Amino acid sequence: MRRTSIELADGRELIYFDERDDAVREGPDRRDLPEPPPASQLRYDPLVDEWVAVAAHRQTRIFLPPSDKCPLCPSTPTRSTEIPAYDYDVAVFENRFPSLSDRAGEPPGQVTPFTASRPGAGRCEVVCFTADHDASFATLPPARVRTVLDALADRTDALAALPGVEQVFCFENRGVEIGVTLHHPHGQIYAYPFVPPRTRAMLAAAGRYADRTGGRNLYADVLAAERSAGVRVVADNEHWTAYVPAAARWPFEVHLAPHRPVPDIPALGDAERAAFGPLYLDVLGRFDRLFDLPMPYIAAWHQAPVHTGRELSHLHLQVFSIRRAADKLKFLAGSESAMGVFINDIAPERAAELLRQAG
């Protein structure tokens, strides 16, 4: 894989990850762009011990443009996009409308005596999986999935080394039902300046389990139990298992986990990286065949934080959809949105059975 870093017209970084060693991607960004926005503001919610990002500049970001105005397609001689090259394999760049950034923002302060504020330091990046606007992750060849995975490993290492970053989160939103603002196949990476609530909850549970069991890894034992039971396993190979969690929150939710406990994507070995793509493409194909419709989903990589809880963590990819039937979506209503108590309309065992049948 060839890695080429360039600077866009407004100073943001773009990195090409090419599958050919002879690829030349050093063309300049011909646009006249304004300075990137300052960092957002983080506000502390004392009632739940969580940080909320206030990023008003994101209101002006591009929303579902037609294909001939897509900012993630390659540039052409007559139109410049976020990608200066006329073709690319995988490209990663700093988001033009970031929720978090390393640029100067408002100094720390107090909104109320109970609500502290500070700059939304960190970084947000966009990961373009392919130059083909009409593709999807499910249609990528396994070799391209490997390139994407290697790019995520590269960016995880780089962002984890930035001052103040506490966790690196890689994810993909797919489908207008999920809320995507661009149709082009892409994902995102957030480098948070704090450990997010979901990770804190998972680490707390894993820590309690380790204390009770003499240091055993909770996720590794849950994975072993799912593999032994088999009823919720959708597919597997030598290095990975894809299964529906026994307490799945979403109508169709699958975890893809490596059999070897590793903290993050960079820790995956060559054989594990090679084995991931075929299994993940299999799962995404099942999602799309389930209702003969493109399945809206979120694919979220759960990695260890940068500085804490790494020995308690077990890397896994959580893929879930809000579609519960061909003509029905699951909306987060009162119990889920207000209280965080999920009510699933489809039994996990039935979801796994349907996904196996869609193979």
Report, as residue numbers or ranges, the catalytic residues.
186
Contact, 203 vs 313, CB < 8 A?
Answer: yes
Both tokens of residue 30? 């011909």
Q: Are 81 and 93 in contact (CB under 8 A)?
A: no
Tokens, residue 208? 């309690």
For the chain, report the end-to-end CA distance as a whole number of angstroms: 31
Coil/strand/helix, residue 335? helix
> How many other CB atoms are there within 10 angstroms of residue 343's CB atom?
10
Six-digit token pair at 92? 């990663």
**Would you tell me the crossing angle of helices 270-290 and 142-160 to the nearest 10 degrees?**
120
Judge contact between 235 and 223, C-beta under 8 A. Answer: no
User: Rounded CA gap, 238 and 236, in Å?
Assistant: 7
Cα 170 vs. chain centroid, distance in angstroms?
3
Task: Please choose, from the candidates 125, 110, 121, 107, the residue with its C-alpha nearest in 3D space to the C-alpha of residue 55.
Answer: 121
3-state secondary structure (DSSP) of residue 45: strand
Residue 77 is classified by DSSP as T
Helix (H) or strand (E) holding 155: helix 142-160
Contact assessment for residue 237 and residue 283, using Cβ atoms and an 8 Å cutoff = no
Q: Is the dihedral of CA 174, 180, 186, 187 positive or negative?
A: negative
Distance CA 152, CA 134 (A): 22
CA dihedral in degrees (278, 283, 289, 293; nearest 10)?
-110
Among residues 265, 262, 271, 253, the alpha carbon closest in space to that of 323 is found at: 253
